[in-house]
Structure 1
């Protein structure tokens, strides 16, 4: 009797629609993001992909304006955003975690997704970003055997406790789970430090994999030369570089150095921080501000090489509530306008229009720009 029922079941399976077996094959990459190193490309849901993205920080934009600013980024023709998650913004007081309201980055990314924008995350634990203490909570500095950005036991213990809370919040947002998050950056420009603590950076890689799985793309960002990458790149992760508008020769050299830290010297090239402006310190008369022509010239050349790149910043926002950080010589001012293509007030400017005009002219770019958004009404100032 048992054998008879089994035989019947097998016969029924043989009569199943052919689409059943095809579904598993065709949907193998239905929701995924991978680095295809041998073919120098990314694959999004199994198809070749590249990004032109812009940095915008949810913690520097009032939630009331999240959708407006994100729409302006999409209208520019971009297909992704990038942002940090500052540890100290979510654990102001030890053991008290907050991911609600202004701190609800999940909602921020879901709004971006609705508008057609993917997300590139930067989870620290050190983030820099001209933010208070580089993203580290104030109370961290009082801990025993806690030396930030190293493998000291006290530091790793605190990072692990934060990641044990943070990473489960991120998990539903990952592309493999149907969400908008394509990649996660660990640390930030670590090759610019003198630590070069590989036990630490490998540990960061491993804890992210333990929580989020081996199919999660982890990346790093460092200055555009081998000197920075040799301590910043982490084995088993995707290395990227950063630099602003410069000569074609310098751009080509930076990407050549990037590939030296990829498997077999092959892989997609990417600039994670392409600077259309710069921050301002207290007491400074002006800031470094590349022209719209210089920005577009370098962007065009990067695109011609097949690169993906992120504008840091596309919209700067404001350092509310004294969250502004400091350099060794002076603190950052309250405004984080950054001389970005979308101003602190949300207005589009000459840089925005020049970038939009160029993107609109790219024949093979799918995310065509929308009409130029009108600037918001404001009182005189």
Structure 2
């Protein structure tokens, strides 16, 4: 019997004994045969995965042009395309809910999600970066791709967004010469280092690299700031140099369109009501280019002490239909607002200082907890008719829980915990929060700062407008009153001997919009005077109230039973018991004055009796089956219970007009 053995390219020869004789040959021949078979296998696999005309991976086949703006319309890979988008910020939504919110966006008939990127969360300490857990930007973008959505990325570095300092990290303000959003070297060096770490997270997720990112925004609303004519060109180059290859955009309101524009990027516009001729005006700035409303404001944010702003659904739909009829693309800001968890809310300061509330419900298309609103169903109906597509049914809304009253059973005074938990900074003069020598030299970013000094008697205490933003004043542990932007003078009663003057100063939120960004240092930013004499010799305590601090509270100190009448500043502790699988709920702090709530060590956000917000959203993902620890830091007048309810209340309604 004669058999044939061959390797491609090497010919073949007869081997006595057939197939079994093949294995009697030398080891070198066997290795050559196995190598050839392995090569054939690899080639077969490659043929299944690759397009041999250029060896381009199949997921990249046909991905050479990307999103283009020409001939008055968008084209995606050469085919006409309109952007129907909605804004969802991953950092305002628990990671476990990302997919739910994105599926709802898709089922509304939209094809694109837009998100900002908050620098101050990703680089909280200079040179230390975090892209994990709820800050896993890549995971959010991949989730959008899985759902079937395109992505427009808005990486900043400034994002506005009613977020503390517009997303810029507070350690930038340690530099007394700092000029934010400019080509000042101290700023551009920090941006370059940040982008060196941020942009590699997203480069491979661009459309031309097989991902869902079809466009990237250059900075944000710079036309409303516009203090450096070279800045936008620098920002554009910073993206291009780091291999951003997709369509570039800018975003501004009408007044900022011309000064926020940069050559080589498509200008888009932001508004809530469509001024006559606005689209024509946009067209005159960039001839024969497609028009896009990057931010169509579906509602508005709220400030402490004001009403809950609501934008009428009929009025919204009238404008949306005009935008669609004009042929423009549109992105809904916000589609889902989410929550300013912790101390992350921003503020405005024009005629007066106004801090943004914890909720970022925004009267958006979805509520703060992800529930549908009438706006959702009206938009879904509209986009179903436009696209002639039967979108998947919207996901079922999960029921909320009412866990009843949570009794605060224990308490401990701030004055009791300070000496053991925190080492004070000693300084002849007051030091602002950002320049305190804490956090490895990065200063204090958020929360409260306590300033203590000794005074010999009473008199008139005057802040000279050096308090940012609100200070409770104590003599020893006796509450005297508060100082802020409007209340700048306070009478200190006379007393015998030397006494301790304490100022518990809260950073209520840094301004996120306008030209005062460079003046957002917090705490005491200058001298405080008693009877026209500047106070000296301070002990300064940094109370950022990070999770480690909250954890140490109940490990270090014996807590006391809550008295019938409790006055802060004080920490209170109670237990929320969950018998079954946790569900979303809302915490109502009726009878409490002002403070912060922590759930299982996480900062849920601020509350304040002046409203409008009366409930705090507590996502089920922050809860566990069994006992959940609730800690409240109350500044002044404490209640005894917190009510868990299944309904939110964001305050008396004011219709935006």
Q: What TM-score, normalized to structure 2?
A: 0.51
Deviation for aligned residue 1:357: 1.2
Matches within 5 A, 1:173-322: 173-195=205-227, 197-213=228-244, 215-224=245-254, 227-246=255-274, 250=275, 253-262=277-286, 265-287=287-309, 289-322=310-343
Q: CA deviation at 1:21?
A: 6.0
How far apart are the structure 2 equivalents of 1:36 and 1:219? Answer: 10
C-alpha distance after superposition, 1:104-152 (max 9, x if no partner): 1111111111111111111111100000111010101113643101111
- Counterpart in the other structure of 1:7: none
Cα deviation for residue 256 of structure 1 reads 1.9
Give the Cα–Cα distance (whole angstroms) in 2 for the partners of residues 20 and 142 of structure 1: 56
Please tell me whether residue 142 in structure 1 is matched to residue 174 in structure 2.
Answer: yes
Of the three residues 50, 61, 69, the one matched with 1:36 is 69
- Aligned residue for 1:10? none
Counterpart CA distance in 2 for 1:29 and 1:286 is: 48
Residues 99/367 of structure 1: CA separation in 2 closer, same or farther (3 Å cut): farther
Q: Say which SS state the counterpart of residue 215 (structure 2) adopts.
A: strand
Matched, 1:378 2:400: yes
Residues 1:86 and 1:72: Cα distance change in structure 2 (over 3 Å): same
Tell me which residue corresponds to 2:127.
95
| 1:356 to partner: Cα distance | 0.9
Q: Do residues 344 (structure 1) and 368 (structure 2) align?
A: yes
Q: Quick one: distance in 1 between partners of 2:390 and 2:76?
A: 18
1:155 has 2:176 as partner: no
Gaps of 5+ in 2: 1-50, 402-645, 648-657
Q: Deviations over 1:242-298 (max 9, x none)?
A: 11134xxx25x2222222332xx11110000001111001111221x2221122221
Partners in 2 of 1:277 and 1:206 — Cα distance? 34
Quote how far apart the aligned CAs of 1:216 are. Answer: 2.3
Secondary structure in 2 matching 1:231: coil
Shift of 1:370: 2.1
Residue of structure 2 in register with 1:64 after alignment? 96
Structure 2 contact 68–76 (Cα < 8 Å) conserved: no
Aligned with 2:150 (options 104, 113, 118): 118
Cα distance in 2, alignment partners of residues 175 and 183 from structure 1: 9
Conservation of the 8 A alpha-carbon contact between 2:347 and 2:356 = yes
Give the alignment partner of residue 358 of structure 1, picking from 379, 382, 394. 382
The residue that corresponds to 1:12 in the other structure is none
Q: How big is each residue's C-alpha offset from its partner over 1:32-53, in whole Å with a ceiling of 9 and x where there is no partner?
A: 423232x112221221111111
Q: Secondary structure at the match of 2:165?
A: helix
Task: Please say if residues 130 and 325 of structure 1, whose CA atoms lie closer than 8 Å, have aligned partners that are also in contact.
Answer: yes
Larger RCO (alpha carbons 8 Å, 6+ apart): 1
Q: Evaluate the alpha carbon distance shift between residue 202 and residue 277 of structure 1 in structure 2; reply closer, same or farther with a 3 A threshold.
A: same
- Give distance in 1, aligned partners of 2:123 and 2:209: 26
Work out whether residues 371 and 397 of structure 2, in 8 Å CA contact, stay in contact via their aligned partners in 1.
yes
Q: What SS does the aligned partner of 2:257 have?
A: helix
TM-score (norm 1): 0.87
More helix by share: 1
Offset from partner CA, 1:6-55 (integer Å, 9 cap, x none): xxxxxxxxxxxxx966999x987435423232x11222122111111100
- Do 1:31 and 1:44's aligned partners in 2 also have CA atoms closer than 8 Å? no
Q: State the distance in 1 between where 2:207 and 2:221 align.
A: 25
Partner of 1:13: none
- DSSP 3-state at the match of 2:348: coil
Q: Deviations over 1:196-245 (max 9, x none)?
A: x22111011011111115x4211110003xx4111101111111001113
Task: Judge conservation of contact 1:78–1:367 (CA < 8 Å) in 2.
Answer: no
